[in-house]
Amino acid sequence: MSENKYYDGTKLLSMKDINGLKPELFLCTTNRSGGKTTYFGRLLINRFLKYGKKFCLIYRYNYELDDVSNKFFKDLQTLFFSNYTMESERCASGIYHSLFLNEQHCGYAISLNSADQLKKYSHLLSDTDSMLFDEFQSETNHYCSDEIRKFISVHTSIARGHGEQARYLPVYMLSNAVSIINPYYTELGISERLNSETNFLKGDGFVLESGFIETASKAQKESGFNRAFKNNQYVAYSSENVYLNDNTAFIDTPVGKGKYIATLRYMNHDYAVKQFSEQGFLYIDDKADSTFRSKISVTVNDHDINYVMLKQNDLFISQLRYYFEKGCFRFKNLKCKEVLFKTISY
């Protein structure tokens, strides 16, 4: 818990990764209105003004680049840079935008969904010194198709240049707490390590801060609007550091041995679906039986030999959805719960 009125990233930026080396990913999650976006935005502007270091803003979809200079700079201008203006210029048919601070070129804005098209222009962005990805966790759970690959592709493309195949290019990744099983936490192995007591976490090449700004929480709680909706989950998410999409209801360990009924493959991992008749529920865990014949792939990318595509099993999906809606499902952990959500969403 921070006693500061607004977020201060000094400690996060001074940390080494789990190997004692300089990290390239800096992840920061706090409660809403804590000031993390303002802190890192101001950091980028100050670095440009003092040292001429340019930055790149990462967005998810190309339409988010519309009026990007105003989105990024409006609050910063009001608070700290009243003598400056920022403008953006559409480049390469809108694949990326160039940013200008008082008519001086200061950086770029790109979208992950244009990662493949961006490759041919990446040499034009090779003077980028750092990257900022705000809202890397999606509140609506809408991510780009194959987003992690696109994120890696964008960074790899821009990090080339200046005579180096892979130069140091830090990425500041900011978000409110949405889901501990978001694609980035899952890919980096954070999901299984993070808990309610975690303030800082180190990994291979990355560091993470899970912060809580008391003054922001108090302001949110005391607003008349939020008091009116105090029982709503979204209000708890915005005022506390509660993960919006994570509900530990139905996380349980059943007693006895269940009947194995199917294997689900999701994101290259197999999960077991078991029936516990006496308790009256189905259970999903990650202890799959590789010899069981009924194997179902949840996505096209998971399809493999001896697996049947999920969309060919409408009756099975309907049965799973029925059990879930009746509250007759239990899960080993949130990852197993996510597998069911993805399965019944088809």
> What are 190-207's pLDDT values in tens digits?
877 877 788 999 999 999
The CATH homologous superfamily to which domain 10-239 belongs is P-loop containing nucleotide triphosphate hydrolases (3.40.50.300)
Quick one: pLDDT band at residue 36, thresholds 50, 70, 90?
very high
Which carries the bigger pLDDT value, residue 190 or residue 281? Answer: 281
Please state, in angstroms and rounded to a whole number, the distance separating the CA atoms of residues 224 and 226: 6
Distance CA 155, CA 163 (A): 16
Sheet strands (E) in 205-310: 206-210, 259-266, 269-276, 281-285, 295-297, 308-309
User: What is the rounded distance in angstroms from the CA atom of residue 322 to the CA atom of residue 326?
Assistant: 6
Please say if the pLDDT value at position 213 is more than 50: no
pLDDT tens profile 136-146: 999 887 889 88
User: What pLDDT score was predicted for residue 157?
Assistant: 93
CA 47 to chain CA centroid, nearest Å: 26
Better-scored residue on pLDDT, 331 or 302 = 331
DSSP string, 32-44: TTSSHHHHHHHHH
Please, is 127 exposed, middle or buried when counting C-beta atoms within 10 Å of its C-beta (0-12, 13-18, 19+)? Answer: middle
Residue 216: pLDDT band with limits 50, 70, 90: very low
Strand order in the sheet with 295-297: 308-309, 295-297, 259-266, 269-276, 281-285, 329-331
96-101 and 104-111 as β-strands: parallel, antiparallel, unpaired?
antiparallel
The CA-CA-CA angle for residues 234, 132, 126, to 5°, reads: 155
**Could you report the per-residue pLDDT of 178-190, keeping only the tens digit for each?**
877 788 988 898 8
Per-residue pLDDT, 239: 47
Closest CA to 279 of 326, 324, 328: 328
Span 57-95, pLDDT tens digits: 999 999 999 999 999 999 999 999 999 999 999 999 999
Whose structure tokens read 């996510």? 338
pTM: 0.73
Q: For strand 281-285 and strand 54-59, is the pairing parallel, antiparallel, or unpaired?
A: unpaired
What pLDDT is recorded for position 130? 98
> Residue 220 corresponds to which tokens in the numbers above?
């949110």
How confident is the model over 103-151, as pLDDT tens digits? 999 999 999 999 999 999 999 999 999 999 999 999 887 889 889 999 9
- Quickly state the pLDDT bin for 318 (edges 50, 70, 90): confident
Per residue in 302-315, pLDDT (tens digit) is 677 667 776 667 78
Q: Above 80 in pLDDT, residue 3? A: no
pLDDT at 284 over 60: yes
Indicate the domain borders of the chain.
10-239, 259-344
